[in-house]
Homo-oligomer: A and B are copies of this chain.
Amino acid sequence: MNVIEAIEERRSIKHYDPDHSMPESDLAELIRLTKLAPSSFNMQNYRLLVIRDPELRGEIRAAAWDQAQVTDASVLFLMCADLTAHAEDPGLYWGHAPQEVQEILGPMLKPFYDGNNQLIRDEAVRSSALAGMTLMLAAKGLGYDSCPMIGFDGAKVAELVNLPSDTIISFMIPVGKLSKPAWDRGARLSDEKVVIYDKF
């Protein structure tokens, strides 16, 4: 599927075939593509929780206003992020780079974030969203639909998945086979409202 078509045809789908099971090869491809999303300093601070266990899915659905897509989609992705990724050895992220690049970027990473909790949190949300959007468009290319969701009790879901204290949940994305198309696409705001030229 053409990338422009994928953007045009991606919709937030609520109704999925509950009997469809995603082949492992599709899941692996979806994960591979998601990991190609960019991240600040290449630190890949997103974490992908792949939830397939039916009992857990039922518990999460109960914590998500009983929305059917939580259990009916083939896979539920919980898009998380590690708030301590900037404190790791930069060699983990830059080991592939030329020595001179490593020497410039390596020492910048920790000081750039350290002590700036708002920036750390923003980066966690931003990175998981860049990965999540990549995942949703990759899913479209692989013949799946998806639905970004924030309508759930975050504290309850954190408890259900044993979320570590240094990790946040950003949003969830059910991915599966559509059983009923979306409504008409939500109307878009005018460019006058959303697009600004040069300065506010």
Contacts and interface: CB of A to CB of B under 8 A. Distances in A.
Interface residues of A, number: 81
A199 B161 contact: yes
What copy number does this chain have within its complex? 2
A50 interface: yes
A198 B195 CA distance: 40
A128 to B, nearest CB: 8
A160 B98 CA distance: 35
A200 B162 contact: yes
Chain A interface, DSSP helix/strand/loop, else mixed: mixed
A1 to B, nearest CB: 5
Interface of A: 1-8, 10, 12, 31, 33, 35-38, 40, 42, 44, 46-53, 56, 92-98, 101, 118, 121-123, 125-130, 132-134, 136-138, 140-142, 148, 150, 160-164, 167, 170-171, 183-189, 191, 193-200
Given A52-B198, A96-B187, 20 more contacts: A1-B3, A3-B6, A3-B138, A4-B33, A4-B138, A7-B36, A35-B188, A42-B187, A44-B193, A47-B194, A48-B195, A53-B198, A93-B189, A94-B186, A95-B187, A127-B129, A129-B133, A133-B133, A162-B200, A163-B200
